[in-house]
Chains A and B, each alone.
Chain A
Amino acid sequence: MVEANLKRTVETTFRAPKRPFLSISPTPEQEKESKAYLNPEIFYETYRKALKLSVAQSEPYRWGHISQLVDDKLLRDVRSEILKEIHFTKKETDIYKVYQSGDLANLSGLDWSDLSRLPNLFKLRNAIYSQGFRDFISEVTGCGKLSGVKTDMSLNTYTKGCHLLTHDDVIGSRRVSFILYIPEPGKTWKPHYGGALRLFDSIVPNVPRSDYHCKFVPQFNQMAFFTVQPGLSFHEVEEVKVDRHRLSIQGWFHIPQRGEDGFIPGEQERTEAKSTLQQLESKELREFDFPKIFRNEINPEVVKSYESAEGLTQAETEYLSKYLNKSLLSSEAITKMKALFDQECMVDIQEFLSPKFADLLSKSIKKCEFNTTMPRVQKDVKFPWKLAIPPHKQRFMYMDGLDQQNIDTAADIQFANGIAPQELPNFGLTRNVAKSEVDRELCTLSEMFRSNAFRKYIALITGLIACKDQVLVRRFRPGHDFILATELEEEPTVGILDCVLEATMNLTPTTGWESGELGGYELCMVTNDEEQQADEKLNEDEAAIYKENDDSVVFTSQASWNTLNLILRDPKVLKFVKYVSNDAPGSRWDISCSWNVKDIFGKDEEEENEGEGDE
């Protein structure tokens, strides 16, 4: 089930066409035929009752599956037909990578020459949306009547590396989600191939737990289904880990439309409004987000010293050169970087750390990767590391220089947010309690990023005066971690620039990330202009797909070793870290710094121009 409300996409193909929910109801003859394409046993009372009970008792929310649903020969023919006739396009966003067909909703609207290419698929579609099968799904889920005219299906094929991260499928008038699996017939799809459907329990509605509750390993001719439940039906498709096709037909049953049995005037509008509200609530609900995006104020007296700085003192240079490449501390190098930053609002600095410090750190990180077991579930993430949640927004490990906190339950989170002692980050303290060499070195480096000397150095390179800061050490584990696209969440504050200065110190010691196929890259893109946004509003249930090398992408940085990316991010810039593939040679490691900077600037040019126009 591809989440369809994405507004952030990178690379690949074309902008998807608007998806019309058009369909022609099957004729009575087709309806009769359709039932014959499904396994007759599923309509037996004993089967229906058992399945209904199983769905009612299922965890973490109401879901079920049916094996051997479709006539075996028909489904094999459908598979051959799909592979022969249908073109799949790779689509990749911050939340998924998948090969997807066009929409099948209006299959019966195709002309006969086209339809003749997909006769078995047409039969299957009619069977799935037949009255008999809709009644069956309605009964076992207890979800109420389902529409036969508003059909909504597409084909996906997940090959090695493809995935779809956590989402709840809540869009518009969807009532039941389903996936019919069509991997290679006659072969067992094994758990270690990946591609399982994973279901998530929630801490509170709209906040899924970080670890999945259970998973369903799909086999040929199995259908998994669940009632779409706002804020609860969180699920994901595990990354496919081997060179095999996990082909599936996915779709939704919608609420009955006008003229259909079960149509309730106003229900569609209410359901759609509820979906929209749920999306908004989910977006706004930041109480359960960890780490908090919170930049701590720097002593104003100290800030003044950055403003008056004309260069680094000898003592500052000595301190910084313990960590940083000496050649980058010269006034010539600073002037050169400043010129670049002034022009581009960003600068990438290679070989940023001194060879000695970098070598030490590289060895420690590699040692950690090779000799310790990577935490795979929340309880295995041990202090000083913490886990970023919730997983429909982010998942990664981090150190923030703050004390240990428990975020397992809603009560724990309420305590952490409202009652627990509040403190300022102190990486020195964290280093003292850290047991491993790599954690201690990363804390030492983080301390340096919070030093006065470094802030002054940054002021010299950017001309920007830091007045608040946040530093996080982050580890993005293969097969687990990512950050979905987010905008800056800055409240306008007098005396503070609306842009945020951000630095990522790339510390990934492994190689092979350059192509981006393994994910783990950091990407910034500008949000669309008003015209495009209006278009998307009309088209809210369709993923927005942008062209390859899209103009909206303003910055990409692959996981790498010893590079500092410094950018001045304006409010409309979205940023994400792409999910790290299970196939990656190790974790993406970095230190992420952000600073609010003082607004010491004159009017911007646009304002000036507007002023001139007024006159």
Chain B
Amino acid sequence: MAPKRPLGIGKALKRKKLNAEERKEEGISAPTEIEVQLSSTADADDELDQLRALWLTFLDASDNELVLNGVVHECDRLLRNDTESESKLGDDFHAIYALALSRLASFTQDNSEVGDYFEAALERVTLGLERFPKSAKLLFARAAIILSRIPLQYVSQMDLDTQISKKVPKMGLLVDEALQAYSEAESVAELADFDAQTFDVLDALDDLLDLAKHYGNDEMEHGMDSDDEDEDDSADEGGLAETHPLKSLKDSKYNEHWRDHTLTFLAKLDEKASGEDVELKRSVLKKLGQFYLLESETPASIYISLAFGEGADEATQDAKTAQKDAKRFTKTAVDYLIRAQNPDDPQSLVDVAEAKISLGNLYPLEGEDQERLYNEAEALLETANKATHGKYDNILENLRGENADMTSVNA
């Protein structure tokens, strides 16, 4: 007998759909399957290892509400089946449960529900801490929950006229609370606790400070690949009223806290065995590089206006001090960005090139140092440009002083 005629993917799908419809008519619905990968050290029969794997699955695909609901239901179940006298649930269980509850807030449109989820999450942290008072995981979780609560529950409801009130507190107070939890966690954490999830907490703080800095600037954020040479960037410093809940986050102390904790985080990664967390380390180094570049902006612009503006005199003390500070910050940025370089990532070469150009701008025009830095930057950009197939053409053209036609251009 001849073998059965194959259908082809189109007909196979049609048949599958027909079968599913028939099954539906019969009241049978196919279960949704989610693949969960256990870590190599996990015990496939251990319920807590399964929960950890499910949580990591959610973190890898963060928009999957189904997986998140699975985590919360599993936490509920484990908690119901647990006996207080012989509890098997460790601090990481409570941390996962609390973080999962807080993540539910992203999936609801109802703002009162958003608040409820964060309350429930923080309550779970508190209950966990009663049992494990020195748990770094729970303290990091508290910091993470507070930092994600600020944009989701509060900033989403704000406008430029919002005032500090009982309902919308000063955001600085909440960040202080998060930083306190983070500091406590940092002091008791083991090396293994300094992982990507912990760095997400510092990242969330960075995003929040950035949000506060640009709040009220409704123009679209332009990317690094755009250019703003002829544009007014002063909107960055949007004038928030003293009574606005976000105003307190413009205090420079928060940037310093971020820097200090990030430096500690990097030191902990350095303590770990070599070869581990390579990508994470690159992210941390890149962030630090960007931080120092931002720090250099103010002294650099003071120096450039004193040295090259109207009635310029770069020999004044103010110009020299500004130049010295700007150079110090920019050199630090270059160092971090060089360490963050990834041979497979052209953008990391561009980051170094841009920092070198900024540093070059702080040296005397067309002097040896400036030329050297520009040449180094150009070489990096050329490599990146090849790798990205011309993405940085215009930056290279600018660097070489070439101009692109702006109207109708013949091929």
Contact = CB atoms under 8 A, between A and B. Distances in A.
A477 interface: yes
A192 B386 contact: no
Given A244-B220, A346-B9, A582 B409 contact: no
Contacts of A370: 346, 383, 386-387
A217 to B, nearest CB: 6
Interface in A155-191: 160, 187-188, 190-191
B407 A582 contact: no
Contacts, number: 147
B227 A570 contact: no
Given A215-B408, A345-B8, A554-B10, A601 B221 contact: no
Nearest to A374: B389
B310 interface: no
B346 A585 contact: yes
Main secondary structure of the interface of B (DSSP, over half): loop
Interface in B4-25: 4-14, 17
A569 B8 CA distance: 5
A216 B390 CA distance: 20
Contacts of B1: 602
A601 B386 contact: no
B9 A242 contact: no
A135 to B, nearest CB: 26
Interface in B371-411: 383, 386-391, 393-394, 404-411
A213 B411 contact: yes
A190 B6 contact: no
Interface in B299-357: 344-346
Interface in A206-220: 211-217
B386 A372 contact: yes
A512 B3 CA distance: 42
Interface string A199-229: 0000000000001111111000000000000
A477 B231 CA distance: 32
A191 B397 CA distance: 12
B230 interface: yes
B4 A345 contact: no
Contact of B411 (A188, A211, A366): A211
B231 A187 contact: yes
A214 B231 CA distance: 28
A107 interface: no
B223 A242 contact: yes
Given A190-B227, A243-B222, A602-B3, A526 B10 contact: yes
Taking residues whose C-beta sits less than 8 angstroms from the other chain, chain A's interface range is 35 or more
Interface in A78-106: none
Taking residues whose C-beta sits less than 8 angstroms from the other chain, chain B's interface range is 35 or more
A601 B6 contact: yes
A376 B12 contact: no
A192 B393 contact: yes
Nearest to A477: B389
Contacts of A499: 6-8
By CB atoms of chain A within 10 A, which of B6, B7, B230, B394 has the most? B6
B221 to A, nearest CB: 6
Contacts of B405: 191
B226 interface: yes
A551 interface: yes
Shortest 8 CB-CB distances between A and B: which pairs? A570-B8, A602-B2, A192-B394, A242-B226, A601-B5, A374-B389, A499-B8, A243-B223
21 contacts: A190-B406, A191-B406, A192-B404, A214-B411, A217-B406, A242-B226, A342-B6, A345-B6, A345-B12, A346-B12, A369-B386, A372-B386, A376-B390, A479-B389, A567-B9, A570-B7, A570-B9, A585-B345, A601-B2, A601-B6, A602-B3
Interface of A: 65, 160, 187-188, 190-193, 196, 211-217, 241-245, 342, 344-346, 366, 369-374, 376-377, 463-464, 477-479, 497, 499, 510, 524, 526, 551, 554-555, 567-573, 582-583, 585-587, 600-605
